[in-house]
């Protein structure tokens, strides 16, 4: 439990600690029980990467970015709804600009001052020295643990009799991406045969309705006794870029 010292205690954080892996340049929203002094957040909040001894400073972002970030989040995902509820904010923010600024005054947007290493555990620390605008300090450290996503990659999969055998041409093959990519880029994957022919993946009706895909399938039967090369668009990237 966090002792109430009269200072800004973090009540909610976005993204949620249970919401999956975070980005290397993740922006965090920290909702406190009162407005926090921005300079004290910059001085006393930090990121700690597992296995790295140094504290990584945070960059405190402009207050006017908070309403835009909340709008981008939307309220249709459980993380966003949970954050707003735990923050004590309504699901629909005030339309009046001044009222909206006042409602969001307790939320600080920040990120680690340099990109986080992929696949590593990291903690965002809301330090004991973070103070309110009136000078009251939080009084105790608060730690929020996350894991940074793995580097983006694509993996080819097919059915084999054993690990040393070739692909079974009577079973479909699949390309899986470690993060969702734009449907058009995923659909541009090809199996290029030795004679120059190319095989395109087959998208299901559900796939065609999605903006992003995390895999594509090459329908069976596939050519027998053939060598093929997986070819991906040169500019393929995941949805976060």
What does the pLDDT look like over 58-91, one tens digit per residue? 999 999 888 888 877 765 567 778 888 898 888 7
What does the pLDDT look like over 142-157, one tens digit per residue? 999 999 988 888 999 9
What does the pLDDT look like over 155-190, one tens digit per residue? 999 998 887 888 999 999 999 998 889 999 999 999
Contact 176, 154 (CB under 8 A): yes
Give the H or E element holding residue 101: helix 97-103
Confidence band, pLDDT 50/70/90 cuts, at residue 221:
very high
Task: State the Cα–Cα distance between residues 207 and 63, nearest whole angstrom.
Answer: 38
Confidence band, pLDDT 50/70/90 cuts, at residue 239:
low
What does the pLDDT look like over 83-137, one tens digit per residue? 888 988 887 777 888 888 888 999 999 999 999 998 899 999 999 999 999 999 9
Task: Report pLDDT for 203.
Answer: 95
**DSSP three-state, residue 230:** strand
pTM: 0.70
Task: State the Cα–Cα distance between residues 137 and 8, nearest whole angstrom.
Answer: 7
Task: Report pLDDT for 166.
Answer: 87
Task: Report pLDDT for 1.
Answer: 47
pLDDT score of 43 more than 70: yes
With a pLDDT cut of 90, the percent of the chain lying above it is 60
């Amino acid at each position: 439990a966090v002792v109430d010292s009269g200072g800004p205690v973090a009540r909610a954080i976005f993204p949620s600690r249970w919401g999956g892996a975070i980005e290397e340049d993740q922006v965090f929203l920290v909702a406190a029980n009162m407005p926090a002094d921005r300079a004290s957040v910059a001085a006393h909040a930090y990121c700690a990467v597992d296995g790295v001894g140094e504290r990584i400073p945070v960059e405190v972002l402009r207050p006017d970015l908070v309403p835009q970030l909340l709008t981008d989040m939307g309220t249709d995902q459980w993380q966003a709804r949970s954050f707003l509820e735990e923050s004590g904010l309504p699901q629909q923010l005030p339309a009046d600009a001044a009222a909206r600024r006042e409602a969001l005054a307790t939320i600080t947007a920040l990120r680690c001052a340099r990109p986080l290493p992929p696949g590593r555990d990291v903690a965002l620390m809301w330090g004991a020295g973070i103070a309110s605008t009136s000078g009251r300090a939080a009084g105790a450290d608060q730690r929020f643990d996350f894991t940074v996503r793995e580097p983006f990659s694509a993996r080819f999969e097919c059915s084999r009799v054993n690990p040393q055998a070739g692909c079974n041409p009577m079973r479909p093959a699949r390309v899986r991406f470690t993060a969702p990519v734009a449907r058009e880029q995923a659909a541009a994957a090809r199996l290029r045969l030795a004679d120059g022919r190319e095989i395109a993946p087959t998208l299901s009706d559900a796939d065609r309705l999605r903006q992003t895909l995390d895999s594509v399938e090459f329908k069976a039967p596939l050519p027998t006794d053939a060598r093929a090369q997986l070819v991906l668009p040169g500019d393929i990237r995941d949805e976060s870029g």
